[in-house]
């Protein structure tokens, strides 16, 4: 069974630009969550999607948004990039929609903002 895939793996953008990251969950998984990992703030929850609906959102500005498609694939978008958005963005998928089940993470997209 294929794992969680994320594209692209590496990305370099300039301040003020916008970026879209993609995540394909494990087949059959309907929940997709996004996390940001930085040396200073550690791993922080961005948002979670289930059945194309955002179910939960972390404390990030509105520049961070996401969506989920009917096939459970998810995208996250960051508009007006800032230097502080440089981070590893991790996507995780989970099987059920209820009690927290183990989340399986993808390899991440490393975003560098210059």
How far is the C-alpha of 84 from the C-alpha of 49, rounded, in Å?
24
What is the side-by-side order of every strand in the sheet holding 74-78? Answer: 5-7, 19-24, 74-78, 64-68
11, 13, 45, 79: residue in contact with other proteins (rule CB under 8 A): 45
CB closer to other proteins, 8 vs 16: 8
7, 43, 69, 71: residue in contact with other proteins (rule CB under 8 A): 43
75 is a site residue for other proteins (CB under 8 A): no
SS3 106: coil
19, 21, 26, 48: residue in contact with other proteins (rule CB under 8 A): 48
28 is a site residue for other proteins (CB under 8 A): no
CA 61 to chain CA mean position, Å: 14
60 is a site residue for other proteins (CB under 8 A): no
């Amino acid at each position: 069974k294929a794992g969680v895939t994320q594209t692209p793996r590496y990305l370099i953008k300039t301040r003020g630009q916008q970026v879209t990251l993609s995540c394909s969950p494990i087949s059959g998984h309907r929940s997709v969550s996004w996390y940001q990992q930085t040396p200073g703030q550690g791993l922080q929850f961005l948002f979670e999607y289930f059945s194309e609906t955002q179910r939960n959102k972390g404390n990030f500005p509105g520049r961070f948004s996401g969506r989920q498609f009917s096939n459970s694939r998810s995208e996250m978008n960051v508009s007006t990039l800032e230097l502080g958005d440089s981070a590893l963005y991790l996507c995780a998928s989970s099987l059920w929609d209820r009690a927290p089940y183990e989340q399986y993470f993808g390899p991440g997209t490393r975003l560098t903002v210059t």
